[in-house]
Structure 1
Amino acid sequence: MRERRIQIGWAELGITVTAELDGRNPALADALWNALPYRSLQGHALVAGHHLFHVAPVHELLHLPAEQKVDRRAVPDGTVFCSRLQHLGIKYGELTEPMPATPVGRVLPADVDALAEAGRAVWDAVYSSKRHVFAEVSRLGEAGECRVPRLRAEDPTVDALIGKVHAETERVWTHPPEELVELHEGRIASRAGSYETVLTTLLFVNGETRPLGYCAYGGLVRAAADGMPLDCLRQMARILAATPAEFLGYCGLQTLHQFTEGALDAAARMERRTDFLALMSQMALYVNCLGGWNLQLFPWSVGGHLRREACPA
Structure 2
Amino acid sequence: MSVNWMDLKREIHNEVEKVWFHEPTEVTMSKLGIFPSGAGTNHQYLGNLFFLNADTQAMGWWTIEPTMYCVLGDERFSLDICKQLFIYLNGPIAHLLGDVLEPNCPAPWLNMPKFAYFHDKIVESYATIETKEELRDLLWSWFCYVNRINSWFYTVLPWELGKNLQRKDLNDVQHLADLLGYKLEQQ
1:175 aligns with: 22
Aligned position for 1:236: 85
Q: Does 1:158 align with 2:17?
A: no
Structure 1 match to 2:147 = 288
Instruction: Give the TM-score normalised by structure 2.
Output: 0.78
Aligned to 2:183: none
CA distance in 1, matches of 2:122, 2:3: 13
The reply on whether 1:270 has 2:129 as its aligned counterpart is yes
Residues 218 and 281 of structure 1 are in contact (CA less than 8 Å); yes or no, is this contact kept in structure 2? no
Higher strand share: 1
Match of 2:50 among 203, 225, 245: 203
Q: How far is the alpha carbon of 1:163 from its aligned partner?
A: 0.3
For residues 59-108 of structure 1, give each alpha carbon's deviation from its aligned partner in whole angstroms, at most 9, with x where no partner exists: xxxxxxxxxxxxxxxxxxxxxxxxxxxxxxxxxxxxxxxxxxxxxxxxxx
Distance 1:164 1:240, change over 3 A: same
Query: Which of these residues, 274, 279, 282, is aligned with residue 138 of structure 2?
Result: 279
1:225 and 2:73 correspond:
yes
1:143 equivalent in structure 2: none
Cα offset, 1:241, TM superposition: 0.2
Alignment of 1:19-30 (within 5 A): none
SS at match of 1:251: coil
Q: Which has the larger radius of gyration?
A: 2
**TM-score, normalised via structure 1 length:** 0.48
Q: How far does residue 226 in structure 1 lie from its aligned partner after superposition?
A: 3.1
Contact 2:56 2:150 in 1 (8 A): yes
CA contact (8 A) 2:56 2:149 kept: yes
Q: Distance in 1 between the 2:49 and 2:125 partners?
A: 30
Q: CA RMSD in A?
A: 2.0
Deviation at 1:269, TM superposition (A): 5.5
Counterpart CA distance in 2 for 1:267 and 1:223 is: 17
1:176 deviates by 1.1
Distance (Å, rounded) in 2 between the aligned partners of 1:170 and 1:222? 27
Give per-residue Cα distances to partners, 1:149-175, cap 9 Å, x unaligned: xxxxxx981000000100110111111
In structure 2, do the counterparts of structure 1 residues 156 and 251 end up closer, same or farther at CA, with 3 Å as the change threshold?
closer
1:248 aligns with 2:107: no
Does the CA-based 8 Å contact 1:217-1:241 persist in structure 2?
no
* Identity within the alignment, %: 25
Q: Retained in 1: the 8 A contact 2:3–2:125?
A: no
Gaps of 5+ in 1: 1-154
Return the letter of the residue paired with 2:84. Q
Asked if 1:216 is matched to 2:75, the reply is no
Decide whether the 8 Å contact of 2:9 with 2:141 is kept in 1. Answer: yes
Contact kept in structure 2, 1:165 and 1:282, CA below 8 Å: yes
CA distance 1:221–1:268, shift in 2 (3 Å): farther
Give the match's secondary structure for 1:258.
helix
The structure that is helix-richer by fraction is 2
Matched-pair contact (CA < 8 Å) for 1:158–1:279: yes
